[in-house]
Amino acid sequence: MNKEIAKKEEKTIEKTRELRTAIPSVDIYENEDEILLHADMPGVKKDDVSINIDNGTLSLSGVRRFNNKGVSTWEEFFDVEYVRTFSVPQSIDVEKVNAELKDGVLKLHLPKSEAAKPKMIEIKAA
């Protein structure tokens, strides 16, 4: 009995991963001194975040990348770029803006300039 055994070679095609765009969830709070913005950017590292304030426009972006090893059989996590843009008042003191990234949440402190803060006006008797 002569049986021919054929060896089937599996060819794996390496897929190039596309960068998807997502809009991060954001909470915004305002008090007398500042506007505080919380943006949800899970998996984004500090070096991959970009914050820009220009001419009354605040732009946030952050990239999350996964380093996968091996051939995937199922994928639900993708490389993603979080992007969001806001209009901000000109009364923001751009020189004092600061940001922190902890546990996937970007906290952005936008302090108001002294001229924009509410002031009590004293009434003088005549």
Domain count, the chain: 1
> What was the pLDDT predicted at 99?
96
> What was the pLDDT predicted at 6?
52
> What was the pLDDT predicted at 126?
73
Full domain range(s) for residue 27: 20-67+75-114
Q: Fill in the DSSP letter of residue 112.
A: B
pTM: 0.73
Task: Identify the CATH number of the domain in which residue 51 sits.
Answer: 2.60.40.790
Span 86-98, pLDDT tens digits = 999 988 999 999 9
Which of the four pLDDT bands, split at 50, 70 and 90, describes residue 5? Answer: low
Residue 11 inside a domain? The answer is no
Residue 5 inside a domain? The answer is no
Residue 110 inside a domain? The answer is yes
pLDDT at 17 over 80: no
